[in-house]
Structure 1
């Protein structure tokens, strides 16, 4: 008898987790005026949380190794947090600063890389390293535009934000490299991870 949960059960669990996480700001709004979410905030947060979780489930459904699953989770989680932080408070100055739009290009790099690599471990390694490089390029562009002169965007803050996201993207890339090496050692094909 197969005791592993089916995809539909996992999606049901994911829905429950997403709704539970959305209860946190809803409850907080009842006790403090510091948390002010609109209906669109809840909808967007729900889409981001559920979409990231569903992406993880679909991508790792046929994954050949736990290393691939961990790499996928780290990459998706870092991407989710990049979007969330950028929308909530902004990474350069405030959330309304137009330079923050550059950070969405990192996610575009990830999506294009995932599609082109067909989610194969070796291609995903290149994709995550490219996302890390994109973060560095964005910080260089931000410095050249004088973003370090904005309130709440010192040189150290921009470098810190860049490192905060570069490190998990690089770690995820290294894990994908390890997953690709494991496939070669065990004789499995990368197609199992796609």
Structure 2
């Protein structure tokens, strides 16, 4: 009788512990949200010390919406899989999307932010998003989708250089070349991580 009670007590404790692990939020998953909070607080703090940073409510709303979307997508990916490489791949892709949108809204890549040629970068994002849905977010397919996104990024940069779009800017063509390489590299790093995730999943399969 006593042994039975002891076994039940241990089983209950084990169940409670397992439930805590299952429902608890790992510290690493709170990091993106903390970083998002710091990012949105940075301009608010800077405005108190310098007149070079002048933001209005619209700026904060747009940044807040972008950060919320980015963190939400990463949280969804974290809930879907425990594959570290897959999560890292999603994280890199999210960072690339966030910076690409923000730079275009703030200053533009091809000339100024008012240059309609910058709308081509929406096509770059469309390639990645459409590709992700076509492959159903499977890691091997995502690797191919991100390679296609990198090629689309390079194509936009080449078109801008050949057509001379944004040539009136002081930093042309260096800024187009530099940022094209930067974003293409991020897409390719994400693709490599997705490929690693696919290999890990294949190795873990029975």
What's the TM-score, normalizing by structure 1?
Answer: 0.86
Match of 1:87 in 2: 105
Aligned mate of 2:164, from 131, 146, 151:
146
Match of 1:131 in 2: 149
Q: CA deviation at 1:162?
A: 0.4
Q: How many residues align?
A: 187
- Residues 10 and 68 of structure 1: CA distance in aligned 2, closer, same or farther (over 3 Å): closer
Show the 5 A alignment for 1:22-171. 22-147=40-165, 149-171=167-189
For the residue of structure 2 that corresponds to 1:31, the secondary structure is coil
For the residue of structure 1 that corresponds to 2:21, the secondary structure is coil
Structure 1 range deviating more: 152-161 or 127-136? 152-161
Q: CA deviation at 1:148?
A: 5.5
> Hey, what's the Cα distance between the residues in 2 that align with 1:12 and 1:137?
36
Q: CA deviation at 1:14?
A: 6.0
For the residue of structure 1 that corresponds to 2:54, the secondary structure is coil
Larger Rg: 2
Q: Which runs of 5+ in 2 are unaligned?
A: 1-16
Whether contact under 8 Å (1:60, 1:72) holds in the other structure is no
Whether contact under 8 Å (2:86, 2:194) holds in the other structure is yes
4+ residue runs over 4 A deviation: 4-7, 9-17
CA offsets 1:60-119 (integer angstroms, 9 cap, x no match): 312141111111111111111111111111111111111111112222222212222211
- Residues 113 and 154 of structure 1: CA distance in aligned 2, closer, same or farther (over 3 Å): same
For the residue of structure 1 that corresponds to 2:92, the secondary structure is helix
Q: Which runs of 5+ in 1 are unaligned?
A: 189-194
Structure number with greater CO (CA < 8 Å, separation at least 6) is 1
